[in-house]
């Protein structure tokens, strides 16, 4: 179970003359919380006082907030532990993490209230995951049903500019909700194109649920007998809470995926949070329930998905998603396709710092069937390496997963 610890809040006056002192105080605040909460009292063998002093000495009076966050995270990285990182309000992850945790903690909502708009962890964005390659941002994920997908942004695109200005995942969209903007991308080396995107207000509590529902679809594949087969597909960008399991079960058992002959469950990227109990959906046997209406119509659904299922993972599948991957193998539910998972399997606590930043700290080690997955991850049964850069929307991992699902449906 994830726990919470919150410090009293006060707004940090970033423009005040005491900026350097405030940053030093904020740095000390973060370092002290980590020392108090980190699951290993030996700090993974580090002399924490020495390490924190080393990084504190690198603070400068005119350091940009992003550079300050980089310095804190460089310190935290030396612990070599997952679930231990600083997130600031100029990162989409800040709003997404707040949205993941807030539904389970009214106290978190209260403590974050001074930093939220209308009480919601909302930001203007387009619904895409990106990673910087030093010169531009590469699209590593496009959330279904959100503005990036609607604009035709593809996996592997390099975002070069927004409205002629350099791209920033938060600042490029700030104050520009519902405004049509020119998004320049490089799709293949030397091939640029301009898309039109309309960012909108995204709520960290609901955006991943919307994308999950929008991702659910039937994909037609031709079998060996030349007959069309229907493969179900759904992607859980976040798996943090029962709502996501309800979406999966609802779509699979009596929704858009009910008539599929096999299923691909995509757990690549995004956020974890899944509970191993969710694997009960894939029981070997199911109880069928039929509802008979007065007009004679009947509706039947099962208590479990008993048809073939393929799990799709990559190095971005983390935390609770890795518990699901481990369970898939241990219970022999179906094949795992993709890349080894992140190896990020610790339990974390979310702290609110005095400037509103979120400090994630690993507070418990975790064993799964007696095995420590932290730093190890779960290897796929069928490995499909994939580098998204310039993929132009191609997804060989998904294609292999669909091929495996098709083969299982025909067996």
Same-domain check for residues 324 and 184: no
Query: Considering the domain boundaries, does residue 296 fall inside one?
Result: yes
Same-domain check for residues 175 and 212: no
> What pLDDT shows up at residue 2?
33
Same-domain check for residues 390 and 365: no
DSSP result, 31-80: HHHHHHH-S-TTGGG--HHHHHHHHHTT--TT--HHHHHHHHHHHHHTT-
Same-domain check for residues 177 and 73: no
Same-domain check for residues 235 and 293: yes
Query: Considering the domain boundaries, does residue 320 fall inside one?
Result: yes
> What pLDDT shows up at residue 128?
98
Beta strands (DSSP E) in 92-179 are 122-125, 128-132, 137-142, 158-162
**For the domain that residue 364 is a member of, what is the CATH number?**
3.30.750.44
Query: Considering the domain boundaries, does residue 94 fall inside one?
Result: no
Identify the domain boundary among 203, 224, 258: 203
Task: Residue 22: count other Cβ atoms within 10 Å of its Cβ.
Answer: 16
β-strand 309-313 against 336-338: which pairing, if any? parallel
Contact between 235 and 211 under an 8 Å Cβ cutoff? The reply is yes
- Whole-angstrom Cα distance, residue 115 to residue 11? 9
Q: Kind and range of the H or E element at 286? A: none
| Total domain count, the chain | 3
Contact between 121 and 99 under an 8 Å Cβ cutoff? The reply is yes
Give the pLDDT of the chain (411 residues) as one tens digit per residue: 233 332 222 222 233 334 555 899 999 999 999 999 999 999 999 999 999 999 999 999 888 989 999 999 999 999 999 999 999 999 999 999 999 999 888 888 888 999 998 899 999 999 999 999 888 999 999 999 999 999 999 999 999 999 999 999 999 999 999 999 999 999 999 999 999 999 999 999 999 999 999 999 999 999 888 888 999 999 999 999 899 999 999 999 999 999 999 999 999 999 999 999 999 999 988 898 888 888 888 888 788 999 999 999 999 999 999 999 999 999 999 999 999 999 999 999 899 999 999 999 999 999 999 999 999 999 999 999 999 999 999 999 999 999 999 999 998
Same-domain check for residues 264 and 310: yes
Same-domain check for residues 25 and 128: no
**For the domain that residue 228 is a member of, what is the CATH number?**
3.90.226.10
**For the domain that residue 128 is a member of, what is the CATH number?**
2.30.42.10
Query: Considering the domain boundaries, does residue 93 fall inside one?
Result: no
Contact between 263 and 405 under an 8 Å Cβ cutoff? The reply is yes
Same-domain check for residues 318 and 365: no
Question: Greatest CA separation found in the chain?
Answer: 77
Query: Considering the domain boundaries, does residue 95 fall inside one?
Result: no
Q: Kind and range of the H or E element at 86? A: strand 85-87
Contact between 201 and 170 under an 8 Å Cβ cutoff? The reply is no
Query: Considering the domain boundaries, does residue 248 fall inside one?
Result: yes
Q: Tokens 């941002």: give the residue.
A: 137
Identify the domain boundary among 203, 227, 248: 203
Query: Considering the domain boundaries, does residue 92 fall inside one?
Result: no
Helical segments of 257-341, H only: 320-330
Q: Kind and range of the H or E element at 109? A: helix 106-112
Same-domain check for residues 216 and 321: yes
- DSSP SS3 for 137: strand
Task: Residue 332: count other Cβ atoms within 10 Å of its Cβ.
Answer: 8
Identify the domain boundary among 184, 203, 222: 203
Helical segments of 222-309, H only: 242-254
Same-domain check for residues 168 and 139: yes
- Which residues on adjacent β-strands are paired with residue 197? 181
> What pLDDT shows up at residue 20?
55
Residue 265, judged by CB atoms within 10 A of its CB (0-12, 13-18, 19+), counts as buried
- DSSP SS3 for 117: strand
- DSSP SS3 for 361: strand
Name the region of 147 (left: φ>0; alpha: ψ -120 to 50; beta: rest).
alpha
Same-domain check for residues 224 and 314: yes
Same-domain check for residues 274 and 403: yes
Query: Considering the domain boundaries, does residue 98 fall inside one?
Result: no
Sign of CA dihedral 209, 214, 218, 219: negative
- Whole-angstrom Cα distance, residue 232 to residue 216? 7
* Domain encompassing residue 319: 207-342+377-410
């Amino acid at each position: 179970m994830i726990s919470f610890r919150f410090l009293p809040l006060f707004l940090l006056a970033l423009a005040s003359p005491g900026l350097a002192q405030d940053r030093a105080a904020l740095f000390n605040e973060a370092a002290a919380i980590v020392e108090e909460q980190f699951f290993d009292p030996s700090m993974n063998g580090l002399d924490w006082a020495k390490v924190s002093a080393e990084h504190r000495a690198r603070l400068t009076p005119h350091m940009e907030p992003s550079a300050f966050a980089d310095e804190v995270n460089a310190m935290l990285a030396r612990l070599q532990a997952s679930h231990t990182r600083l997130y600031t309000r100029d990162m989409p992850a800040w709003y997404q993490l707040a949205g993941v945790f807030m539904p389970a903690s009214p106290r978190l909502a209260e403590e974050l209230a001074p930093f939220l708009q209308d009480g919601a962890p909302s930001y203007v964005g387009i619904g895409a995951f990106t990673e910087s390659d030093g010169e531009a941002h590469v699209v590593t994920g496009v959330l279904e049903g959100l503005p990036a997908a609607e604009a035709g942004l593809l996996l592997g695109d390099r975002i070069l500019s927004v409205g002629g200005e350099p791209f920033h995942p938060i600042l490029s969209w700030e104050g520009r909700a519902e405004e049509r903007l020119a998004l320049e991308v490089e799709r293949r080396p030397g091939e640029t194109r301009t898309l039109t995107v309309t960012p909108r207000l995204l709520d960290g509590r609901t955006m991943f649920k919307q994308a999950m529902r929008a991702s659910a679809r039937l994909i037609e594949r031709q079998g060996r007998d030349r007959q069309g087969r229907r493969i179900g597909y759904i992607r859980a960008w976040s798996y943090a809470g029962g709502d996501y399991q309800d979406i999966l079960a609802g779509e699979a058992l009596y929704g858009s995926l009910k008539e599929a002959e096999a299923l691909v469950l995509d757990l690549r990227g995004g956020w974890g949070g899944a509970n191993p109990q969710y694997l009960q959906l894939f029981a070997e046997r199911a109880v069928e329930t039929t509802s008979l209406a007065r007009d004679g119509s009947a509706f039947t659904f099962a208590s479990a998905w008993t048809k073939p299922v393929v799990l799709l993972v990559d190095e971005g599948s983390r935390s609770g998603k890795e518990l699901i991957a481990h369970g898939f193998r241990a219970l022999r539910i179906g094949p795992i396709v993709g890349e080894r998972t992140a190896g990020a399997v610790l339990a974390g606590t979310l702290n609110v710092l005095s400037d509103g930043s979120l400090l994630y700290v690993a507070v418990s080690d975790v064993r799964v069937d007696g095995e420590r997955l932290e730093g190890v991850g779960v290897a796929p049964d069928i490995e499909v390496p994939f580098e998204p850069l310039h993929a132009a929307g191609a997804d060989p991992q998904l294609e292999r997963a669909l091929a495996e699902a098709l083969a299982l449906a025909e067996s």
